[in-house]
Amino acid sequence: MAEFDSEDHYSDQSGDQEQTQTTRRKRRRTAHACDRCRSRKTRCDGQTPCATCRTTDWECTYEMEAPSKGKSDLILAAVLRVERLLKQRDTCIIDSSHRAGFQSPNGDMPSASAPYSMPTNQRDTVEVPLQKWLHSVQNASLSPLHISTTENILAWPHFDCYPLLREAERVSIFNLEQGRAPSAGMELSPVLPFISIGEIEAITMAFEQNINFWYPTMSKGMLDQLKDKLSTGRLSNDCNSCLALLVMALSCACEFTVSTLRDDLEGDTNSLPRRKKMGEMYFDCAMNRMHIPHQEVSRAALHCLLFTAFYFAFSQRPLQAWSFIDAAATKCRVLLAYRPAGISQDEQECIHRIFWSCFILESDYIAELSALPLSGISDMESSVPLPGQFHTHTTVEDEEHSAMYFLACLSMRRLLNRVHHLLYSKDTGASLDDRRFPHMVTELDHQLEDWRRLLPPVFSFTLNKEPAPNSQAGFLRQRYLTCRSVIYRPYLMQMLNPSGRVDQEGWEKCKKCLDACIEHILNLRSFPHTVFVDTWICSLSMAGAMLVLLAGCRIPGVQQYIYPEVTMLGSHLQSLLSKWITIPGEPPSPSVKQAIRWIEVTDRLIKGEQ
């Protein structure tokens, strides 16, 4: 728990100071003591090595299981161990890249068994950029202008012989979305329907079970205050009123989406369009007040911007969603930098969680539109505490599962950022350097498997086509397979290079990339998290996977290993995406339609059709 000791409390009253000191004393207990301190029953600070082991010069290890604790402590302990492992892996990556990227004075490659000592005259020219690179890797920043987007894959010269693919490439994804007609005009003074307290409770339950489960940023107390404001009709021109309207808009949209995706619809299905229309009315009312959160710098303003981004993500409008994410991230940086006086501990934790939500979402969008400007949020992510204790749900079980799921999504996004940066950064990426990428692929694969191994049982998944135990586990499996395919893609690129030398090990790792793409597509289902927030991102990711498989089919002897599964992928994706694209109810996203077009053409080419 040491990561959370630096939280500041902002009351000058003596009673608050005493309570703050008591809280800090309680929170200094480490989540996991080292083996030596546990066996001797001495105090441990949880560092590697801990203070006791440093003083006594003992080996400091964390192999033994911790004694029985609360689930929250175990969650945090697992996350801290992952972070410690990632930092150790980063060092290994730097060392291996250092050995692979520099030659010894006589021109030979340095031995892998011992670190290479660089000549003095070379150290000055390499030291500074290497330190900057190490810093950015530790920060899990997504390198700008990386070469791993779907449009970058489509630009591979291996697709020059497919004019049908090139026909759909004339307009970029950004220009398609930029030239899109705006949403239907908002009513200047929309009249909200009258709903009872019971209806407000029922509608907002969809928000708690979906948005606030995937991105748990709102406490029960905050949500109850907003529901009270809605039930009494005390809506005015302030951030909290805007936020209450956005919660209702998202709740209605979530309820409509989840109900639409269910195959076993019962009862009055005619109420679904009415619920969606109600959500649009609440969103219109919120947008009429949106100038207020843009001007205000507060926790409520942060929530307004983030929730507006969620609604635009549901509407499959990526540029509008990204612009509000960027605005929320900027305000986050301000609040975390200046820490205004009078803010409560719950509000501080809320700001941390909004920060991490912005980090995930911004990275997701920039993964496909790499030229979008960065908010700078990744520059400070290593200094922001991971999510801590926060009362977000009615039941303790839902609250714990939500916290674990959020941490799992966060750690995977950080790993994906490391993969993109180390392998596909435009200037320093190792994907096209035969000497460097094998070392990095090995280390990144270790990180990926560590992530999967440390998942809690409720979200664990198998690496086959068996249905996931729940939609959250299914969503995490999709993220895992995405990461796996991107990690091993350099081996496919090496095999596609006519001048490249490929051995049996290289071929086996190329197959891992292709297998991960196939499993990624076959395991895709209508997960509410994917459909509501990530339809745009998912459609491009799936188009990229299909393009990678088409490129793989050009390698002699590959088809026998990926048939017949590869022939079933296109129809599966088109069936899902053609349904998802209709859910927002407005003209479909042109870039999602573009992705579906790429999938359709790629499917025909894989099957040998013209």
Task: Give the domain CATH number at 53.
Answer: 4.10.240
Token code pair at residue 63 = 């192999």
Q: Is residue 139 part of a domain?
A: no
Terminal C-alpha separation, the chain? 60
- pLDDT tens for 549-581 read 999 988 887 877 787 889 899 999 999 999 999
pLDDT at 1: 34
Token code pair at residue 278 = 């109600």
Phi and psi (nearest 5°) for 496?
-75, -15
pLDDT at 369: 92
User: What would the DSSP string read from start to end of 160-173?
Assistant: TT-HHHHHTTSS-H
Please check whether residues 214 and 254 belong to one and the same domain: yes
**Whether the predicted pLDDT of 335 surpasses 90:** yes
Please check whether residues 363 and 499 belong to one and the same domain: no
pLDDT at 226: 95
pLDDT at 225: 94
> Across all residues in the chain, what is the average pLDDT?
81
Between CA 568 and CA 439 the distance in angstroms is 34
| Residues ≥6 apart with Cβ < 8 Å to 163 | none
pLDDT at 208: 96
Are the CB atoms for 9 and 16 separated by under 8 Å? yes
Show which of 19, 44, 64 is a domain's final residue: 64
Q: Is residue 229 part of a domain?
A: yes
User: What would the DSSP string read from start to end of 235-262?
Assistant: --SSHHHHHHHHHHHHHHHHHHHHHHH-
Least confident range from 85-99, 484-498, 512-526, 558-572: namely 85-99
Between CA 300 and CA 350 the distance in angstroms is 10
pLDDT at 17: 45
Between CA 226 and CA 240 the distance in angstroms is 7
Domain residues for the domain of 41 are: 34-64
- Over residues 232-245, mean pLDDT: 92
Interior/surface letters 364-389, b for 16+ CB within 10 angstroms, e for the rest: bbbbbbbebebbebbeebeebbbbbe
pLDDT at 63: 59
Please check whether residues 307 and 452 belong to one and the same domain: no
Show which of 332, 354, 383 is a domain's final residue: 383
Least confident range from 75-84, 353-362, 553-562, 593-602: namely 75-84
Q: In this structure, what is the dihedral angle of CA atoms 8, 9, 14, 15, given to the nearest 10 degrees?
A: -130
Are the CB atoms for 176 and 590 separated by under 8 Å? yes
What does the DSSP 8-state code read for residue 385? Answer: P
Share of the chain above pLDDT 70, in %: 78
pLDDT at 128: 33
3-state DSSP: the chain helix, strand, coil percent, rounded to 5?
Answer: 65, 0, 35
Between CA 400 and CA 392 the distance in angstroms is 9
Please check whether residues 274 and 405 belong to one and the same domain: no
- Over residues 68-95, mean pLDDT: 55
Q: Where is mean pLDDT largest: 79-88, 371-380, 497-506? A: 371-380
Between CA 354 and CA 349 the distance in angstroms is 9
| Residue 485 Cα distances to 238, 477, 478, 517, angstroms | 46, 12, 11, 6
- pLDDT tens for 150-196 read 999 999 998 888 888 877 667 899 999 999 988 765 555 667 777 88
Show which of 359, 383, 407 is a domain's final residue: 383
Q: Is the pTM of this model over 0.95?
A: no
Work out the angle at residue 355's Cα, subtended by the Cα atoms of residues 20 and 400, and round it to the nearest 5 degrees. Answer: 70
pLDDT at 22: 44
pLDDT at 96: 45
- Over residues 452-466, mean pLDDT: 91
pLDDT at 90: 52
- Over residues 98-127, mean pLDDT: 31
Please check whether residues 490 and 547 belong to one and the same domain: yes
Q: Is residue 164 part of a domain?
A: yes
- pLDDT tens for 463-501 read 888 889 999 999 999 999 999 999 999 999 988 887 766
Q: Is residue 142 part of a domain?
A: no
- Over residues 302-314, mean pLDDT: 98
Please check whether residues 358 and 501 belong to one and the same domain: no
Are the CB atoms for 206 and 258 separated by under 8 Å? yes
Please check whether residues 432 and 455 belong to one and the same domain: yes
Q: Is 201 exposed, middle or buried (0-12, 13-18, 19+ CB in 10 A)?
A: exposed
Please check whether residues 279 and 363 belong to one and the same domain: yes
> With bands split at pLDDT 50, 70 and 90, how would you rate the model's confidence at 75?
low
Q: Is residue 589 part of a domain?
A: yes
Please check whether residues 485 and 522 belong to one and the same domain: yes
Q: Is residue 11 part of a domain?
A: no
Please check whether residues 231 and 359 belong to one and the same domain: yes
Number of domains comprising the chain:
3
pLDDT at 275: 85
Least confident range from 22-31, 248-257, 361-370: namely 22-31
| 3-class state of residue 103 by DSSP | coil
Between CA 223 and CA 246 the distance in angstroms is 12
pLDDT at 83: 60
pLDDT at 442: 92
Q: Is residue 579 part of a domain?
A: yes
Handedness of CA 100, 106, 111, 117 (dihedral sign): negative
**Whether the predicted pLDDT of 402 surpasses 80:** yes
pLDDT at 264: 47
Please check whether residues 557 and 408 belong to one and the same domain: yes
Residue 207: closest CA among 165, 177, 243: 243
Question: Which is higher by pLDDT, 483 or 109?
Answer: 483
pLDDT at 73: 55
**Whether the predicted pLDDT of 599 surpasses 90:** yes
pLDDT at 557: 76
pLDDT at 514: 94
Please check whether residues 424 and 377 belong to one and the same domain: no
> With bands split at pLDDT 50, 70 and 90, how would you rate the model's confidence at 139?
low
**Whether the predicted pLDDT of 98 surpasses 50:** no
- pLDDT tens for 204-235 read 999 999 999 999 999 999 999 999 999 988 88
Q: Is residue 111 part of a domain?
A: no
Between CA 393 and CA 467 the distance in angstroms is 27
